[in-house]
Chain A
Amino acid sequence: MHRLGAGWKLLALAAVSVVVTWTQQPVVAVCALGAAVAVLMVARVPLRATARTLAPVVVVVLGLGAYQWWARGWQDALVVSAGLLAVIGLATCLTATTRSDQLLEAMTRTAGPLRHVGLRPQTFALAVSLVLRTIPALIDLGWDVRDAARARGLDRSPRALLVPFVLRAVARAHTTADALAARGVLDDDDADSGDDSSGPRSDGGDDGVRAV
């Protein structure tokens, strides 16, 4: 599984997602879930650690399934829950068996057509990579904020939890943007295209250089 190209794995993930969503059949969703578990086992992804990491997501999916059962019946509930779990399992397998660098290149290739609508594929791929990297950091931030609120006796105040979390997450996003600009990561595509600005000297930025 580790040797399989990142592009093929992405394609398979997309195909399963489309089939499960398109057919809306419980049998298909359950088969997809079975296949996802089999793939995780073949890829030797540590199941216990994976289950622990995915536990919060599984709880949300099961909640969604329970709601579907109540609102639309057990068949829809099965399609939604099993389908989502199958896709999440396969996505986990993809990230566990593929280097981010390979994934980045595959996504850059896949997102190639976006160039025609003015989006840089490399930026798109990097954004996806950043999301993957940021999730554990945001979870840590959430624990920090909760501890800080608890230390002030405000652990039951949604405002004391939400406001600092959002502010710190945005601040972190700004710092990361600065870091990316400083490393010239976003310059790659057009590195040889000559001068990057011709406007007046002002406090406005260009090419990812943030204004003060």
Chain B
Amino acid sequence: MIEFLGAHVAVASPAAPGGEVTILEPTTLTLTEHRVAVIGANGSGKSTLARLVNGLVLPTSGYVRVNGLDSHDDGRAVRRQVGFVFSDADSQLVMPTPLEDVTLSLRRLRLGRREREERAREILDRFHLAHLADVSVHALSGGQKQLLALAGVLATEPQVLVCDEPTTLLDLRWRTHVNDLLAGLDQQLVHVTHDLEAAARADRVLVVDQAQVVYDGLPAPAVTFYRELMAQRSAAPGWP
């Protein structure tokens, strides 16, 4: 269960009125659904909302709790429970080969080297990446890199997975594959996406606009609301 209790994020900005810019207005939510999608325009605050969940961003005021653990006070414990996948897999993969990258994730489980490697090979096999275990990460395709990033995060068996636009850089084939994979996970999923088809498969959809959650409900009405909102924004004078 993920709880936002008046979570508010602001950054200091001397030029702004009041000396700060609000990135996310105070937000109170309880997410218990298996798959939650977050949609919104670029710069609306949806990534900040996602990053609050695993403590990558801490609330300026208010609280974020994951299964009762506070992201501020129990940061490490929260990060152990919440996996995070970014849109650019290239930045997320830190070791030279897929095997070594997944092995790195397993270090926190405090297993022996041989056991870590065996476990890493099993994980790569599960994601159909076993044949690429010793290939340079640099040589993988974008889709393979994103799949590997996902494998690296899921290797530690987090209870919650947050994905921040994981399919943005992928072609249709890989996008479908990754979305199918995410839909079939046992973990609770918070999926930030511009892909409205993927959002429509969620159990609950949050629409974020101008630093606040402006719609929270079932996928079909949420997507309709978002389309109308974007149509309004596009018709507004001064756009783009």
- Taking the closest CB of chain B, its distance from the CB of A196, in whole angstroms, is 5
Beta-carbon contact of A182 and B79 below 8 Å: yes
B233 contacts chain A at the CB level, 8 A cutoff: no
Q: Which of A189-212 contact B (CB under 8 A)?
A: 190-191, 195-198, 201-207, 209-212
Q: Which of B82-104 contact A (CB under 8 A)?
A: 83-84, 86, 88, 90-97, 99-100, 103-104
Beta-carbon contact of A209 and B153 below 8 Å: no
Q: Which of A103-136 contact B (CB under 8 A)?
A: 104-105, 126, 129-130, 132-133, 136
Q: Tell me the bound Cα distance from A137 to B94 in angstroms.
A: 11
Given contacts A184-B76, A195-B73, A196-B76, contact A137 B90 (CB under 8 A): yes
CB-defined contacts of A178 to chain B, threshold 8 Å? 56, 86, 91
Please encode chain B, from 114 to 155, with 1 for each CB lying within 8 Å of some chain A CB and 0 for all others.
001100000000000000000011100000000000001100
CB-defined contacts of B117 to chain A, threshold 8 Å? 101
CB-defined contacts of B61 to chain A, threshold 8 Å? 201
Beta-carbon contact of B113 and A130 below 8 Å: no
Which residue of chain A lies nearest to B136 when distances are taken between CB atoms in the complex? Answer: A136
A21 contacts chain B at the CB level, 8 A cutoff: no
Q: Tell me the bound Cα distance from A57 to B22 in angstroms.
A: 48
Q: Tell me the bound Cα distance from A202 to B96 in angstroms.
A: 36
CB-defined contacts of B116 to chain A, threshold 8 Å? 101
Please encode chain B, from 24 to 54, with 1 for each CB lying within 8 Å of some chain A CB and 0 for all others.
0000000000000000000000001000001
A185 contacts chain B at the CB level, 8 A cutoff: yes
Q: Tell me the bound Cα distance from A12 to B70 in angstroms.
A: 48
Q: Is the interface of B mostly helix, strand, loop or mixed?
A: mixed
Interface hit among B6-14, B167-175, B180-188, B208-216: B6-14
A47 contacts chain B at the CB level, 8 A cutoff: no
Q: Is the interface of A mostly helix, strand, loop or mixed?
A: helix
CB-defined contacts of A156 to chain B, threshold 8 Å? none
Beta-carbon contact of A201 and B104 below 8 Å: no
Beta-carbon contact of B95 and A129 below 8 Å: yes
Beta-carbon contact of A203 and B75 below 8 Å: no
Beta-carbon contact of A176 and B94 below 8 Å: yes
Beta-carbon contact of B104 and A184 below 8 Å: no
Which residue of chain A lies nearest to B55 when distances are taken between CB atoms in the complex? Answer: A209
- Taking the closest CB of chain A, its distance from the CB of B138, in whole angstroms, is 5
Give the size category of A's interface with B: 35 or more
- How many chain B residues have a CB neighbour from A under 8 Å? 49
Q: Tell me the bound Cα distance from A196 to B94 in angstroms.
A: 24
Q: Tell me the bound Cα distance from A126 to B96 in angstroms.
A: 12
A72 contacts chain B at the CB level, 8 A cutoff: no
Which residue of chain A lies nearest to B24 when distances are taken between CB atoms in the complex? Answer: A212
B227 contacts chain A at the CB level, 8 A cutoff: no
CB-defined contacts of B57 to chain A, threshold 8 Å? 209-210, 212
Please encode chain B, from 60 to 72, with 1 for each CB lying within 8 Å of some chain A CB and 0 for all others.
1100000000001
Given contacts A101-B100, A184-B76, contact A172 B91 (CB under 8 A): yes
Beta-carbon contact of B95 and A182 below 8 Å: no
A180 contacts chain B at the CB level, 8 A cutoff: yes
Q: Tell me the bound Cα distance from A63 to B83 in angstroms.
A: 48
Q: Tell me the bound Cα distance from A84 to B73 in angstroms.
A: 49
- Taking the closest CB of chain A, its distance from the CB of B184, in whole angstroms, is 22
Q: List 28 A-B contacts (CB under 8 A).
A: A100-B95, A100-B100, A101-B103, A102-B113, A133-B93, A133-B95, A133-B96, A136-B136, A140-B138, A176-B94, A178-B56, A182-B84, A183-B84, A183-B105, A184-B80, A185-B94, A191-B80, A191-B108, A197-B75, A201-B58, A203-B10, A205-B58, A206-B75, A207-B75, A209-B58, A211-B58, A212-B10, A212-B11
Given contacts A101-B104, A179-B94, 12 further A-B contacts (CB under 8 A): A100-B100, A104-B104, A178-B56, A178-B86, A179-B84, A179-B91, A181-B79, A182-B54, A184-B80, A201-B58, A203-B9, A212-B57
A interface residue numbers (CB < 8 A to B): 99-102, 104-105, 126, 129-130, 132-133, 136-137, 140, 172, 175-176, 178-185, 187-188, 190-191, 195-198, 201-207, 209-212
Those 5 A-B pairs whose CB atoms lie nearest each other, nearest first = A182-B84, A175-B91, A179-B92, A184-B79, A100-B100
